Amino acid sequence: MKKIVAVIKPFKLDDVREALAKLGISGMTVTDVRGFGRQKGHTELYRGAEYTVDFLPKSRIEIVVSDNQEQLCIDSILRVAHTGKVGDGKIFVSDIKRVIRIRTKEENDEAL
């Protein structure tokens, strides 16, 4: 099993969710986060004073999928979240050793 974490632009969240739903991915965790990478930040003007916004709003999506769904999920996220501009985000993939559904005590693929 794989854990896929995608940090994307917030306005792309619904598109990514819909694309993953078409693949049969029904469970995900979404968090509103702030951060920066190469995009750094930007300056804004507020009441005549210029200030720097260092942390930009992003959406973080976490899903756990079986090994055979990994590449399909990654391809979908890449296709839908891509704008071609700085700050499109990143995808992180890691191995998951074990998953347990608390309610039924099912494990691993059955728990997904």
Greatest Cα-to-Cα distance within the chain, rounded to the nearest angstrom? 58
Q: Which helix (H) or strand (E) holds 85?
A: none
How far is 38 from 74, CA to CA, in rounded Å? Answer: 21
Give Cβ neighbours of residue 62 (< 8 Å, ≥ 6 apart): 3, 4, 5, 28, 29, 30, 31
CB 21 within 8 A of CB 78: no
Residue 43's pLDDT is 67
The pLDDT-based confidence of 1 (bands split at 50, 70, 90) is very high
Domain coverage including residue 54: 2-111
Q: What are the pLDDT digits (tens) for 18-36?
A: 999 999 998 999 999 988 7
Output the domain CATH number for residue 95: 3.30.70.120
Residue 104's pLDDT is 95
Number of domains the chain contains: 1
Please check the confidence at residue 13 and state whether its pLDDT lies above 80: yes
Q: What are the pLDDT digits (tens) for 36-73?
A: 777 666 666 667 777 676 778 899 999 999 999 999 99
